[in-house]
Amino acid sequence: MTNKQAAIKPRDRDTILSALRAGVVPRLGLQHVQVGRQREIEAMIRDIQRVAEGGASIRFVIGSYGAGKTFFLFLVRQIALQSKLAVCQADLSPDRRIHATGGQARTLYAELVRSLSTRTAPEGGALRNILESYIQRATERAGASGISIEQAVRDGLGDIREMVAGYDFATVIAAYARGYEDGNSLLQDSALRWLRGEYTTRTEARTDLGVRSIIDDSTFYDGLRLLARFVRIAGFGGLLVCLDELVNLYKLQSSQARKQNYEQILRILNDVLQGTTEGIGFILGGTPEFLLDTRRGLYSYEALQSRLAENSFAGRGLADYSGPVINLPNLTPEELYHLLERLRDVFASGNPDRWLVPDEALAAFMAHCANRVGEAYFRTPRNTVKAFVDLMAIMEQNPDARWQDLLDQVDVNEDRDGSADHEVAGDGEDPDDELATLRL
Q: How far apart are CA 76 and CA 78, in angstroms?
A: 5
pLDDT in tens, 66-124: 677 888 898 899 999 999 999 999 999 999 999 999 999 999 999 999 999 999 999 89
Q: Are residues 206 and 297 in the same domain?
A: yes
Residue 426 lies in a domain: no
Q: 169 with 85, same domain?
A: yes
Same domain, 316 and 336: no
427 occurs within a structural domain: no
pLDDT at 290: 95
Indicate the residue among 310, 327, 344 that finishes a domain: 327
For residues 150 and 205, state if they share a domain: yes
pLDDT, tens digit (0-9, with 9 covering 90-100), for 341-360: 989 999 988 889 989 999 99
Determine if the pTM surpasses 0.85. Answer: no
State which of 299, 327, 355 marks the end of a domain.
327
Q: Are residues 230 and 372 in the same domain?
A: no
pLDDT < 50: residue spans in the chain: 1-4, 414-440
| Same domain for 24 and 45 | no
Q: How far is CA 404 from CA 33, 99, 394, in A?
A: 25, 54, 13
Determine what percent of the chain falls in helix, strand and coil, rounding each to the nearest 5.
55, 10, 35
Query: What is the total count of domains within the chain?
Result: 2
Asked if 81 and 28 sit in the same domain, the reply is no
Tell me whether residue 13 is in a domain. Answer: yes
Closest residue by Cα to residue 2 from 341, 419, 293: 341
Q: In which domain, by residue range, is 388 found?
A: 1-35+331-419
How far lies 101's CA from each of 97, 107, 117, 255, 257, in Å? 10, 11, 28, 15, 10
| Domain match, 176 and 319 both | yes
154 closest CA partner among 173, 181, 133: 173
CA torsion sign, 425 to 427 to 429 to 434? negative
Q: Return the amino acid letter for 246.
A: L
**Phi/psi of residue 60, nearest 5 degrees:** -105, 110
Residues 164 and 29 in one domain: no
**Is residue 429 a part of any domain in this protein?**
no
Of 354, 330, 262, nearest to 300 by C-alpha is 262
